[in-house]
Amino acid sequence: MAAAITRAHGLHALVSVAVCNSDGRLIAFKRMEGAAGMTDRTCISKTLAAAASGPRVPSRGAIPIVRDGVVWGACGVSGADSGERDEDCARAGIAALT
């Protein structure tokens, strides 16, 4: 999660970040100070959708966490100026796990 926030700082974006497990249970959440109010619900929704659909269905701003072909959960971000930048932050967060 810290790596996703660091990437958002690099993009000059104020975001919310959520991480859930494969059952769709929220296990971590952070809203940066100054991030828009709706970013919290949006990033959680993206995260849950990515965990449920896995790598088969792309979702801008959320990435499933997959290890050895098994979906372990997902990381989602909302608040950057595009879905691609949200996704860039989510990828940074997941990359820090490996």
Hey, what domains does the chain have and what are their CATH numbers?
2-95 (3.30.450.150)
pLDDT tens sequence across 36-51 = 999 999 999 999 999 9
Residue 13 makes CB contacts below 8 A (sequence gap 6+) with 79, 80, 81, 85, 89
What's the rounded Cα separation, in Å, for the pair 22 and 24? 5
Side chain identity, residue 82: S
- Which SS3 state, helix, strand or coil, does residue 47 take? helix
Per the structure block, which two tokens stand in for 5?
């926030």
Radius of gyration (Cα) for the chain, nearest Å? 12
Residue 36: closest CA among 18, 13, 61: 13
pLDDT tens sequence across 52-93 = 987 776 678 999 999 898 999 999 999 999 999 999 999 999
Quickly count: other Cβ atoms within 10 Å of residue 28's Cβ.
14
